[in-house]
Amino acid sequence: MVFDFWYFDSPVNRPRFQYRPPNFSAPPLSGAPEARFTPAPADGVLPDGFFSTTNLPTYVKLPPPTGWRRPRLPRMDCVIVQAGPDDLVVSEPRRVRRGEKVAVGAAEDGSEGIFVHVEGFLGGTHSPNEFRFMAAEVSRERPVDYGVLAQLLGEEKERGGKMLWVIGPALVHARAREDMIWFIENGYVSVLFGGNAVAVHDLEAAIFGTTLGMSSSGESVEGGHGLHMRAINAIRRAGSIEKAVGQGIAQSGIMHALVTHRIPYVLAGSIRDDGPLPDVIPDTLAAQDAMRSYTAVATFAVFVATALHAIAVGNMLPAFVDSRVTEDIRPLTTICVDQTEFVVTKLRDRGTHQAYGVVTNAQDFMHVLRFYVERWQQANQPVRTPAPSSR
């Protein structure tokens, strides 16, 4: 198992740094030119030389009195559009309309009016914050400090953060379903992403007590190969997952917990889907848009046993949480869990360098994390002062 702590102090496990904003009054940034913008030649077409964004804190120099400004909705592999005289927004290329002003330039050091603050969280050079491909170092030999994970998750809940979970069907097969339900019911899930399969297998378990035709003990049941199709049909007959829960068709499980606790979820479709369920979004761009509305405000992310969805969602996330009002910037804690190093390495090599890899199976991770979070809750319960006696 592996967990990369690059910003925690031992043994107190408190952040050892604060974000250091750039010093724009000192060279070379003090003498940087204003950024250049070029109109888009057509809808969805970018001007030559457009600036391709990273997921790190980025500043663009606008004419006085605005000066240096951070664009809204940061994420990688996009462009910066000037939405107003002092308003910048990061936009997917497909959303750019003809005539909109797009930032151009290749340099990230401020020499063209655009500065990517690679060293905002750590001093020195070539820090783990630096945006680059094929740079991951992952090993299952490194230990996982679940106490730190529990603390981070608990503190995020206390501060009212937006905790995003992205899960795959292996979480259901691995018998981690009850633990996922516990996290939902106890307020550690703000939104959940998945595909058709994770919802189907969870609903099959709710309706028939099996997942992919297997009992809770892992034994195949007669006719089990078709039970997930029967579960899909039951939900389609009801009209939606929410209606199936309301009608008592699904009386337990992850989807039941999400519906009853009014936690939003996004199910993105694929060409391999059976059914699919009526709640699944088959249009990939529409699914990306639905996810984007949540990734833009996420403050914590946990990916469990889902390679493609983890990489896709990771590409939508900035590496930091941005207050938009002050320089109160902190890393966006991102945990990636899989039983192979490949998924963790792939995620980080695709630019989500802030991801902490936990190489283990979904069942062990969910069981152990829940144990430590429960222990953290007990240790951090407010002390109740007895009421004074009336005598």
- pLDDT beyond 90 at 224: no
Q: What is the percent of the chain where pLDDT is above 70?
A: 83
- Name the DSSP letter for residue 351: T
Banded pLDDT at 330 (limits 50, 70, 90)? confident
Q: Output the pLDDT for position 216.
A: 65
Q: Residue 140 above 90 pLDDT?
A: no
Per the confidence metrics, is the pTM higher than 0.85?
yes
**Under CATH, what is the fold of the domain 29-116?**
2.40.420
Ranges of each domain in the chain: 29-116, 146-379
- Among the listed residues 203, 300, 209, 208, the one whose alpha carbon sits nearest the alpha carbon of residue 255: 203
Amino acid 212: pLDDT: 72
Q: What pLDDT, on the 0 to 100 scale, is given for residue 176?
A: 93
> Which range, of 32-46, 107-121, 139-153, 363-377, averages the lowest pLDDT?
139-153
Looking up tokens 């018998």, which residue turns up? 175
pLDDT above 50 for 329: yes
- Please state which CATH number belongs to domain 146-379: 3.40.50.10690
Contacts 24+ apart (CB under 8 A), 87-93: 88/60, 88/62, 90/53, 93/44, 93/46
Return the H-helix or E-strand segment holding 39: strand 36-39
User: From CA 125, how far away is CA 61, in angstroms rounded?
Assistant: 23
What residues does 88 pair with on adjacent strands? 82
Q: What is the pLDDT of residues 190-212, one digit of tens each?
A: 999 999 999 999 999 999 998 87
Distance, CA of 51 to CA of 105 (rounded, Å)? 5
| Phi, psi of 279, rounded to the nearest 5 degrees | -85, -10
Provide the pLDDT for residue 126.
46
What are the residues facing 38 on neighbouring strands?
102
User: Residues 224, 210: contact at Cβ < 8 Å?
Assistant: yes
For residue 158, report the phi and psi dihedrals to the nearest 5 degrees.
-65, -35
pLDDT tier at 386, thresholds 50, 70, 90 = low
DSSP state for residue 191 in the 8-state scheme? E
58-103 pLDDT, tens per residue? Answer: 999 999 999 999 999 999 999 999 999 999 999 999 999 999 999 9
DSSP 296-313: TT-SEEEEES-HHHHHHH
pLDDT higher than threshold 50 for residue 125: no
Task: For residues 358 and 149, give the distance between their C-alpha atoms in angstroms, rounded to a whole number.
Answer: 11
User: What's the mean per-residue pLDDT of the chain?
Assistant: 87
Tell me how far apart the alpha carbons of residues 257 and 186 are, in angstroms, rounded to a whole number: 10
Q: What is the pLDDT of residue 357?
A: 86
| Distance (Å, whole) CA 330 – CA 122 | 11
pLDDT value of position 6: 37
Tokens for 375? 């222990």
The reported pLDDT for the residue numbered 211 is 82
Q: Is pLDDT of 13 > 80?
A: no
Instruction: Report helix, strand or coil for 58.
Output: strand
Q: What is the dihedral of CA 276, 281, 285, 288, to 10 degrees?
A: -120
In sequence order, the 6+-apart residues with CB closer than 8 A to the CB of 196 are 267, 269, 270, 273, 274, 275, 276, 277, 280
Residue 158 clears pLDDT 90, i.e. is over it = yes
